[in-house]
Copies of this chain bind each other. A is one copy, B any other.
Amino acid sequence: MAQNIYDDPKFFAGYSQLPRQVHGLKGAPEWNAIKAMLPPLEGKRVADLGCGFGWASRWMRQQGAASVMGYDLSEKMIGRARADTDDEAIHYRIADLDRLELPVDSFDLVYSALAFHYVADFDRLVGMMHRALTLGGALVFTIEHPIFMAASQPDWIEDEQGRKIWPVNGYSIEGERRTNWFVDGVLKYHRTMGTTLNTLIRQGFQIDRIEEFAPTTAQISENPGLAEELERPMMLLVSAHTT
């Protein structure tokens, strides 16, 4: 079973104060890039894996999705998602993505934001999603970028000229990474870009687009702290469809 950090009170308290949790999708700088990768939502049956507070689930219904099933490991997240949602076509369920089995041929879109890097068995998950999608169905997801995750000490350092450097090592050595994020020892799984994309292809997906999120000039003007995201990609965005 996946580690459930989200129900740790200390983690939850910190996490709930992140801009993207306070302000929803508008607080996520990569949201416009994600939107551009989504298929038209009108009439679609959507699964939202790692739905958190349900921000994206509700947005997709507003865009005309026929139904949205949101899944999350955290009781606290699902509890708040249910409290914040008044829509009979959105359902939230507690589920571990390392074990979840969606019904076969039941969804037109599987969406997931920043959840799959907590999943140990990506191959199982991708096969399951392929079975759950109809033919031509779309998969759009974001994960922490492997450049961001690989290193043993993933934090900025300065070079001799005082320029920021992001360290990379152990890139080809996949598996567990432990970091401290609100609490100590948050468990994530590093996979190379090659493994992520080849797993999708092998399980029957065709890759449509890859984005390594970088802020726009306008975003940096508004929030100068985002400039460091040009130095190394923090997030990988992928869209694909079943064949």
Which A residues are closer than 8 A to B by beta carbons? Answer: 147, 150-153, 157, 159, 163-173, 192-194, 197-198, 201, 206-212, 214, 229-233
> A197-B207, A201-B208 known; 5 other A-B pairs, CB under 8 Å?
A157-B165, A163-B169, A166-B168, A172-B212, A192-B212
Q: Chain B residue with minimal CB distance to A214?
A: B172
Please pick, from B147, B164, B171, the residue contacting A231 in the complex, using a CB distance under 8 A: B171
Q: Which residues of chain B have C-beta atoms less than 8 A from A159's C-beta?
A: 153, 157, 167
Q: Which residues of chain B have C-beta atoms less than 8 A from A193's C-beta?
A: 193, 210, 212
A151 to B160, CA, bound (A): 14
Q: Chain B residue with minimal CB distance to A243?
A: B206
14 contacts between A and B (CB under 8 A): A147-B168, A151-B165, A165-B169, A166-B167, A166-B169, A167-B168, A168-B231, A168-B232, A171-B212, A171-B230, A172-B233, A193-B212, A194-B212, A206-B206
Please pick, from B153, B171, B231, the residue contacting A170 in the complex, using a CB distance under 8 A: B231
Q: Which residues of chain B have C-beta atoms less than 8 A from A231's C-beta?
A: 168-172
A124 to chain B, nearest CB (A): 20
Q: Are B230 and A211 touching (Cβ within 8 A)?
A: no
